[in-house]
Chains A and B, each alone.
Chain A
Amino acid sequence: MQGKIVVVGASAGGCRVALAAQAAGHDVTLVDEHPQAMKDMSFDAPWFYGAGLPSALLNDNSIAQAVLEGSPELIECLESGVDVRVSTVLWGAFRNGPNSVNVGRPRVGLVNRDGNEILEHDTLVIATGVRDFVPSFKGWELPGVFGGKAGIAMLDLYQVFEGRKAVVLGTSELALRFIRSALARGTEIVAVIEAGQEVYAGPEAAAWLAERGIPVHLRHVVHEALGKTEVSGAICVSLDGDATFAVDCDSIAVAIATLPNIELPAAMGCKMHYDPGLASWVPEVDARGETSLESVYWLRDDASSEALLASIKGETNADRFPPHAAQTQPTLDYIKTWISALHESGGDDVNICQCETVTRGEFCGIAPPSYLGQGLRHAQSPIVHSDAARAPRINQDFMKRMTRVSMGHCQGKRCRDEASIALALRFGVDPDAIRPASYRFPLRPIDLALIADDDESEDIRLHWQMWPYETRQD
């Protein structure tokens, strides 16, 4: 690892890397988008806050304080002289490579509430953690529906959670963490809904839930979130025989799974492979976490920073850190169970894309967006026509461009994973045979006024191509 280092993501792992690099004499900048402005939270990235953001989040000072107090590692970074940038989005990363050889030194684009900056560096460490996976169901747009990570953040980090009666979807470790935090704050868990046959987090977790008298409904999914302006209840349906029951609640915590934040390495062009354990495409990395791009590291999770830390400290035997063990229960299978159950019981007439208001049926049928007022003359299939071995079976970008699912202001963060699995299930295609929708810069939507350059050099201005003189003839 060399030179100026940018670490993005102030998780425990990211902070530890920043501290070690600082101690080893590097100039280190640590970037984290939290605490986010309320407007940015509404994009549900990385955590799915949903539409019901408590107004207490508007108190920037107390929120910033809560974030700092919640992370001793971050305070240590500040005290150690690491250049810490919180509430700052790393929106793009640019470096020389094929067909772009004029960037110069690698650089990242940073933006916060005051403006933007291009920061040159030598090494980039991506420790961007995970985001909520929240699949669609009828009423999932209502305030009161949120993801597990967002729920835990509102409960423990920001301490602004207002829910009194919560329904929890999923029985993963994430669900259990949410339930523990919610109970500690006096929120009642009125039902835990599980699409699978058993509690996903295992028998101990099942026993723990039983001891507390929390009703767990196996082989059930939520059919509909009730409420006009916010969640007032939920209708749940059995997957064996269609029996339904209703519960009163003000919150629906969707705590099925989290997925890694891969938009930065993907948009940078790091070589990726599909990992069913994580139900996601992830960068290919070596033992220290270096991606296919030189001096760009990706930390899968806090634990996987050990080899990189050792190498920063000058230890050379990175091989002693075993490669990441495959998860015994692939997240992909669990997610598939949920999506399959939700789609079968909820049907086609549920919006899969909130931003563009497109239903599951419209998406899988490649329907043009309704504002065009035109259909397809003949039904069409998304299956790629090719006999090439390397060809994907489906291009998610094609589905995106035709239906606009994942083209909206959340940049596909809400729906792209469900959309991809839905295609896999409906068309009988393996998820890794679907070319994933491209990730693009900026990694978050940014106000034009904040990002627009105000230092266009004379050189750029002089050589800017002016149509219709498409190219200067000199």
Chain B
Amino acid sequence: MLVLDAGATAYEASSRATGYLSLRGETPAESPLAQEAEKLWDGLDEELGYPTEWTQKGRIWAAFNERELDELKQLYGTFRKTNVPFEFLSGDDLREMMPCLSESCLGGIWTHRSGHANPQRTSQAFAWAFNDRGGEIREYTPVLEILTEGGKAKGVRTLQGELHSDKLALCAAAHNTLLLEPLGIHFPLAPVRLEALVTTPMPPLFEQAFIGNGLSIRQTKRGNLHMNGGPYEWVDLEIGKEAAKPNTQIVRNILRRAIETMPVLKGAQFLRSWAGIVDMAPDQMTTIHKFDSPEGLVTAACSGHGFGMAPAVGIAVSELLLKGETRMPIDQLSLDRFNKVSTDWRAKRRWEAGQYNT
């Protein structure tokens, strides 16, 4: 088994991710797969042999004004289509479990399940565990082309030449779109740049995975507050080229929102910011697809919540590749659901490179 990465391990989406496992109340079609991932997360440190910082302390979606509260209540109807124990709580109930939460929080959705982990540490833990089992990861080796022959997967072309295999898993986020296009396959994904930051360590404040006021905020095991959010800037990627991931002055707005959300953060310091590229599908859901033609090719991408889903997605992809079928619940996640998505969908959505705030 050989894994090729265009750059270093855990360098792209893993370095941008907040580190949440979402149980996908907002997209119930994905929820069964997310719940399979949750079971795997609980044993991951032991299975891999390396720390992931998995923290299973529940998740909060909080509303900070009446409009958000109405929207969240409406969304709660969707959440209840899953079999996850979600509850709608008042602001006071939320503050009781998370005392640092601002008085302006009016209420929100809560589940004691799901959690968060350290994305870089987790991705590296997978990589090391893979090495320990005899796998090889070749870094800085971008795939330039998917090779097929007679309707079957044949291998890939890299700068170092061709590598041949009749079984290929393409998990290159929004690069999937570019690499599948020459095969006449349309995988609609739009890359988008997002910003993230951390503060200096604070005393223990909360352990839940928190979402509200336009931010995702978690406190790391070290104590830093890790957050991201803000307007999306849609971009284009190039095969074989590392994407630029600049920050903007929007980090100031993120910090203001952080203080609004948890006033105690006034006492923290802004330490570090960075940005990353996320791949977004039209319905913002995970895709896992096995092709009949070319046979031997499987692809996956997770619309910005792949980190938490990864343990289950990994099993689904490997089973599809090796056995042709999987025990993971992915019936509603194939590429077929995009059959009617036109090739100019990004323009129609205003998700084309350069567009902002859409």
Residues of A within 8 A of B (CB): 92, 94, 97-103, 107, 109, 116, 118, 269, 356, 368-369, 371-372, 374, 376-378, 380, 384-388, 390-392, 395, 397-398, 401-402, 404, 409, 411, 435, 438, 440-442, 445-449, 451-454, 456, 459-460, 462-474
Nearest CB of chain A from residue B58's CB, rounded to whole Å: 16
Complex alpha-carbon distance, A459 and B10, angstroms: 34
Given contacts A100-B244, A453-B249, 11 further A-B contacts (CB under 8 A): A98-B244, A99-B233, A101-B356, A103-B248, A385-B137, A409-B200, A446-B269, A448-B258, A448-B266, A459-B357, A464-B257
Contacts of A386 in B (CB 8 A): 138-141
CA distance A411 to B11 in the complex (A): 19
Tell whether B199 is near chain A: CB-to-CB under 8 Å: yes
Give CA–CA (A81, B356) in the complex, Å.
Answer: 39
Say whether, besides A99-B243, A453-B255, A460-B357, A446 and B229 are in contact (CB < 8 Å): no
Is chain A's interface secondary structure helix, strand, loop, or mixed overall? loop
Segment at the A interface, from B96-104, B271-279, B329-337: B271-279
Chain B: minimal CB distance from A153 (Å):
23
Known contacts A448-B255, A464-B229, A468-B61; decide if A441 and B51 are in contact (CB<8 Å).
no
Known contacts A391-B140, A446-B270, A470-B304, A441 near B251 by CB under 8 Å: yes
Whether A97 lies near B244 (C-beta < 8 A) is: yes
CB distance from A469 to the nearest CB of B (A): 7
Residue in chain B with minimal CB distance to A107: B249
Q: What does the 1/0 interface line of B185-215 toward A look like (CB < 8 Å)?
A: 0000000010000011100000000010010
CA of A32 to CA of B257 in the docked complex: distance in angstroms?
A: 29
Closest A residue by C-beta to B255? A452
Which residues of chain B are near A448, meaning CB under 8 Å?
199, 255, 258-259, 265-270
In the assembly, what is the distance between CA of A102 and CA of B75, in Å? Answer: 32
Task: Report the 5 A-B pairs with minimum CB-CB distance, sorted nearest first.
Answer: A377-B49, A463-B357, A453-B252, A391-B140, A98-B244
- Cα A248 to Cα B41 with chains together (Å): 56
**Whole-angstrom CA separation of A269 from B256 in the bound complex:** 26
Q: Is B341 an interface residue (CB 8 A)?
A: no
**Using an 8 Å CB-CB cutoff, how does the interface string of B341-357 with A read, 1 for contact, 0 for none?**
00000000111001011
Interchain Cβ contacts under 8 Å between A and B, 21 examples: A92-B247, A92-B251, A97-B246, A99-B243, A100-B233, A102-B356, A118-B249, A118-B252, A269-B244, A368-B50, A371-B221, A411-B271, A440-B274, A445-B269, A446-B269, A448-B255, A459-B357, A462-B357, A467-B229, A470-B280, A472-B358
- Alpha-carbon distance between A462 and B357 when the two chains are bound, in angstroms: 8
* Closest Cβ–Cβ distance, residue B115 to chain A (whole Å): 16
Q: State whether the Cβ of B165 lies closer than 8 Å to any Cβ in chain A.
A: no
Contact assessment for B245 and A384 in the assembled complex, using a CB-CB cutoff below 8 Å:
no
Known: A99-B235, A467-B211. A387 touches B138 (CB 8 A): yes
Contacts A388-B141, A467-B211; A102 near B272 (Cβ below 8 A) = no
Q: Which residue of A lies closest to B284 (CB)?
A: A470
Q: Tell me the bound Cα distance from A223 to B217 in angstroms.
A: 44
Residue of B48, B121, B160, B270 with most chain A CB atoms under a 10 A cut-off: B270
Q: A445-B270, A464-B229, A471-B280 are in contact. Are A388 and B51 (CB under 8 A)?
A: no
Given contacts A374-B51, A385-B139, A471-B280, contact A269 B246 (CB under 8 A): yes
Q: Does B162 contact A (CB under 8 A)?
A: no
In the assembled complex, B71 has its CB within 8 A of some CB on chain A: yes
Tell me if A402 and B124 are in contact (CB < 8 A): yes
Chain B hits for A441, CB < 8 A: 247, 251, 273
CA distance A451 to B197 in the complex (A): 13
- A447 neighbours in B (Cβ, 8 Å): 266, 268-270
B139 and A391 form a contact (CB under 8 A): yes
Interface residues of B in 29-62 (CB under 8 A from A): 45, 48-51, 53, 61
Q: Which residue of B lies closest to A457 (CB)?
A: B253
Flag if B249 contacts A465 (CB, 8 Å).
Answer: no
Cβ of B259: which chain A residues have Cβ within 8 Å of it? 448-449, 452
**In the complex, A462 Cα to B129 Cα: how many Å?**
44
Q: Which residues of A contact B248 (CB under 8 A)?
A: 94, 100, 102-103
Contact check: which of A372, A445, A459, A471 meets B51 at CB < 8 Å?
A: A372
> Is residue B132 within 8 Å, beta carbon to beta carbon, of the partner chain?
yes
CA distance A391 to B160 in the complex (A): 12
Given A107-B249, A372-B221, also A451-B255 (CB < 8 A): yes
Chain A: which residue is nearest B159 at the CB level?
A: A388
Q: Within the assembled complex, what's the spacing in Å between the Cα atoms of A453 and B214? A: 15
From the candidates B231, B272, B356, name the one contacting A440 in the complex (CB within 8 A): B272
Bound-state CA distance A460–B253 (Å) is 9
Q: Please, which residues of chain A bring their CB within 8 A of the CB of B231? A: 460, 463-465
Given A409-B269, A466-B68; A100-B193 close (CB under 8 Å): yes
Which residues from chain A contact B183 at a C-beta distance below 8 Å? none
Asked if A94 and B128 sit within 8 Å, CB to CB, the answer is no
List of A residues within 8 angstroms of B199 by Cβ: 448
Shortest beta-carbon distance from A270 to chain B in Å: 12
- A374: chain B residues at CB < 8 Å are 45, 50-51
**Given A118-B249, A448-B270: A467 touches B216 (CB 8 Å cut-off):** yes
A391–B142 alpha-carbon span in the complex (Å)? 11
Cα A85 to Cα B211 with chains together (Å): 38
B239 interfacial by beta-carbon distance below 8 Å: no
Contact, CB under 8 Å: B229 / A465: yes
| CA of A442 to CA of B247, assembled, Å | 10
Complex Cα distance, B265 from A473, in Å, reads 32
A residues in contact with B49, CB < 8 Å: 376-378
**Bound state CA distance, A98 and B49, in angstroms?**
39
Chain A residues with CB under 8 Å of B257's CB are 464
Q: Identify the closest chain A residue to B223 (Cβ).
A: A371
